[in-house]
Structure 1
Amino acid sequence: MSTGAPIPSPRDIDTSQRPFVLIWEVTQACELACDHCRADAKPSRHPDELTTAEGKRLLDSAAEFGDGQLVVLSGGDPMKRDDLVELVRYGTKQGLRMTLTPSGTEALTPDNIAALVDAGLQRMALSVDAPATAHDRFRGEAGSFERTREAAEAARDAGIPLQTNTTVCATTVETLPAVREFVAEVGAVLWSVFFLVPVGRGQILDPIQPERAESVLEWLQDVSEAAPFGVKTTEAPHYRRVALQRNGSATDAPDADAIGRRGGIIAGDGFAFVSHTGELFPSGFLPKSAGNVTDSDLVSLYQDSTLFESLRDRDRLKGKCGACEFRHVCGGSRSRAYAVTGDPLASDPLCAYRPSGYDGPLPDRQAAADR
């Protein structure tokens, strides 16, 4: 396994110049039919996916952000691409830190995992949303949970750090304590807890209410203080506000897991997403394009596009997010704001916090709860 590129200190990364995380959705094809799927994935690959050559040019461009740029190959299920090992090896040679988020399918064999690790893969993230039967139902295929467990064991045996991703919605929230036990059992280094954004198939699911989200975030703080793994949230940056209110600090220190973490990352500000056809989005859950990497420069699009510049300016946020004293460490989920209101700068409707002295309009769900 390659030792990979040098790891830049997360706190040294200027997110106006480079993303901390660059996601490339290498395909939307997947054998699963998950209830929450952002991509509304289908078994067959799209004819306009980036080719191997186009993908390598994208990785060349990603390397221009600087040493050790973190790249996540996502999907769909990236295992559906027969050039996946080639892409991981190429990105590693370009000095990128290559990571992967595959689906729990029969393609995720120990041999395939070993080949990816040999090509330089530095981390694998596997999704577990609930205990076995409920997970399989959520993922739309019997046996997915056991295949995911076997893949986790194979990753551990191959010496690759493992991350576990979990979706939080009304269907899964009660099972979080059981999933927490699974994360510890498989030896994951990080638990990434994703709070549902109503896009793709996820529009048919019920999100949890803001007050419940607050209690889950407080519980996750408890877990982070006691668990043998790190905890982060996705599309719930107010986790950092909860940490500040509780501990006086929201700084995420780098872990000894070859990746590191940092706070203050939201869609378009430290985070960018390249779709399977090359569109650059602030996030996969905020499908508003800044341009296409096949005919525009990736670095310039990230640094200079009006969309990304607006998302990096926390003083342009509207409503209670704009008035919030925590906006520079939180910023709210721009993806959820866009999904619910059509405005990526609007208030995050999942956050229950009311800024001190704020008497302006509230997101609909919070206003309804206050009535």
Structure 2
Amino acid sequence: MSTAVRAIRHQRHDAGDRPFIVIWESTRACPLACLHCRAEAVPDRDPRELDTAAARDLLDQVAAFGQPAPLFVITGGDPFQRTDLTELITYGREAGVRVAVSPSGTPTLTAERLRELHAAGAVGLSLSLDGSTAAIHDDFRGVPGVFRWTLDAWDAARAHGMRVQINTTIARHNLHDLPDIVRLVSEHGAVLWSAFFLVPTGRGRSLGALTAGEVEDVLNFVYDVGLTIPAKTTEAHHFRRVVLQRQVLAATGDDHVAVLGLGPLYRELRERAAELGLDAGPRRVRRPPLDVNAGRGFVFISHTGTVHPSGFLPLGAGSVRETPLTEIYRTSELFTGLRDADRLGGRCGACEFRRVCGGSRSRAYGLTGDPYAEEPWCGYAPGSFPRQRELAELLGGADTEPPVRPAPSAASDAKEHRAHQER
């Protein structure tokens, strides 16, 4: 087994045959008014939603991929707005489908309801934490009290023995608060912290974009805290590039700050993490990121049954009311196209990391209208990483194309890389 396999986890099954995870937007009804909401959630349920019978059929379609079936995540809106939630979890368990729930932090998220989810067979719970204080989190979520409800639900779920994942939307409002959020994750405990990099869809279009330099700084910070808490990214697929770069630089003894041209935000985040003692505790084994992307191991079902490569990529490939999910995922032009790295354009198409990264297809589409365009929030210049020979050994032949150009030295690369990020 090559070292690259250990640096990047690959899906157990062929990503063209079955997804790793299926997300179902069970409803768009939600009492919150989150600034970034992809679904542009509304107070009332839509009469076009998949009803209980159609939702059961969807679970059967997921089971049809074969065993072990993909993980099925029920999200929203607020899934607790559906009175059949626990019934569907039980049905999924009986059909051989592992079901997790991603609820909103509202008064519906009570200890009793969490106990019911656990008893019905939910395998996990994911909660959103977008600030380390009520002031930051509640302002982002649009309703006072959400921060407290979230922490209480988090502790109650863990008390019931549930596996809890914490998701943090990274945007301008909390860039400097990330170490304090990590401290809360460390203190309350979670199986995983997911740093979600905003995609400009829904209400999220109104939020300010990060610069490529800021993204690089945060991705490297996420890599660092992976020794403190289990950490991953969502819609920041170039984190896999960062993981490979950092592994190579650690082996060669190079200074990653200088070679990668990391900036003041990275230094600030690292200093704050040190102040909070996040570096002082026992070190854990870093969790390798999983090679999943829109349409490549990932599929999203809307509340009305339309099928998308991602909840943040609104292009549709059919409806589960009319065509089996297995057929849509395996054969639709949209899904098969997104699984072809050779269709990527711009810098992504020329990048030596394209087969283990691929960039956010959702963000590319959201900002350019082209799902195959280059990743807008990535500042990496293809071929500029100075340790290409060591990288090729680590990749183990995952990509056969040579870099676009050689990088003569770590110092010159850092200077050019930072200049590119700031343009």
TM over 0.5: same fold?
yes
If each structure's helix is expressed as a fraction of its own residues, which one has the higher value?
2
Q: Is the 8 A contact 1:263 1:329 kept in 2?
A: no
- Distance, in Å, in 2 between the alignment partners of 1:110 and 1:305 is 42
Matches within 5 A, 1:50-69: 50-68=50-68, 69=70
1:164 aligned partner: 166
Q: CA deviation at 1:11?
A: 3.5
Larger Rg: 2
1: distance between equivalents of 2:164 and 2:303? Answer: 24
Other-structure match for 1:362: none
* Equivalent residue for 2:314, pick from 287, 312, 325: 287
Structure 2 partner of 1:21? 21
Hey, what's the Cα distance between the residues in 1 that align with 2:352 and 2:141? 39
Alignment-mate amino acid for residue 218 of structure 2: V
What corresponds to 1:237 in structure 2?
Answer: 237
Q: Distance in 1 between matches of 2:98 and 2:248?
A: 32
Q: How does 1:129-278 map to 2 (within 5 A)?
A: 129-130=130-131, 131-225=133-227, 227=228, 229-248=229-248, 263-278=290-305
Q: Judging changes above 3 Å, is the alpha-carbon distance between structure 1 residues 42 and 97 closer, same or farther for their aligned structure 2 residues?
A: same
Post-superposition offset of 1:370: 5.1
Unaligned runs of 5+ in 1: 1-8, 250-259, 360-365
CA shift at 1:262, angstroms?
A: 5.5
CA distance in 1, matches of 2:289, 2:204: 27
Residue 112 (structure 1) aligned with residue 139 (structure 2): no
- Find the counterpart in structure 2 of residue 336 from structure 1: 363
Name the aligned partner's letter for residue 104 of structure 1: G
Mapped partners of 1:72, 1:124: distance in 2: 9
Q: 1:215 to 1:140 in 2, by over 3 A?
A: same
Aligned partners of 2:338 and 2:369: how far apart in 1?
14
Query: Which digits, 9 at most, give the CA deviation of each residue in 1:316-348, with x for residues without a partner?
Result: 101100010001110000000000011100001
Per-residue CA deviation, residues 196-250 of structure 1 (Å, 9 max, x unaligned), is 000000000012111000010011111002x1x311100001001000011149x
1:346 aligns with 2:373: yes
- TM-score by length of structure 2 reads 0.79
Q: Distance in 1 between matches of 2:10 and 2:42?
A: 35
TM (normalized to structure 1)? 0.90
Distance 1:172 1:146, change over 3 A: same
Count of residues in Structure 1 that have an aligned counterpart in Structure 2: 345
Q: What CA distance in whole angstroms lies between the structure 1 residues aligned with 2:61 and 2:419?
A: 44
Q: Could you list the per-position Cα deviations for residues 89-144 of structure 1 after superposition, in whole angstroms to 9, with x for gaps in the alignment?
A: 10111111100110001101111000110010001000000122110010001000
Structure 2 distance, partners of 1:370, 1:163, is 33
**RMSD (CA atoms):** 1.8
Instruction: State the distance in 1 between where 2:159 and 2:248 align.
Output: 38
Instruction: Tell me, yes or no, if the aligned pair for 1:11 and 1:262 is still in contact at 8 Å.
Output: no
Counterparts of 1:203 and 1:43, CA distance in 2:
21
CA contact (8 A) 1:104 1:144 kept: yes
Q: Tell me, in whole angstroms, the C-alpha distance in 2 between the residues paired with 1:324 and 1:369.
A: 16
Map of 1:84 onto structure 2: 85
Structure 1 pair 72/337, CA: closer, same or farther in 2 (3 Å)? same
- Supply the distance in 2 between the matched residues of 1:338 and 1:215 (Cα, whole angstroms): 24
Whichever residue aligns with residue 215 of structure 2, its letter is: A
Q: Does 1:46 align with 2:46?
A: yes
Q: Contact between 1:165 and 1:193, CA under 8 Å: does it hold in 2? A: yes
Q: Deviations over 1:8-39 (max 9, x none)?
A: x9632211011111000000110100000000
Task: Give the corresponding residue for 1:296.
Answer: 323
Residue 377 of structure 2 aligns with an amino acid whose one-letter code is: L
Equivalent residue letter for 2:32: L
In 2, the alpha carbon distance for the partners of 1:203 and 1:358 equals 33
- Alpha carbons of structure 1 residues 299 and 140: separation in structure 2 relative to 1, 3 Å: same
CA gap 1:370/1:262 in 2 versus in 1, 3 angstroms: closer
The 1:94–1:262 alpha-carbon spacing in structure 2 relative to 1, beyond 3 Å, is farther
SS at match of 2:140: helix
Q: Which residue of structure 2 lines up, in the alignment, with residue 252 of structure 1?
A: none
Alignment of 1:313-324 (within 5 A): 313-324=340-351
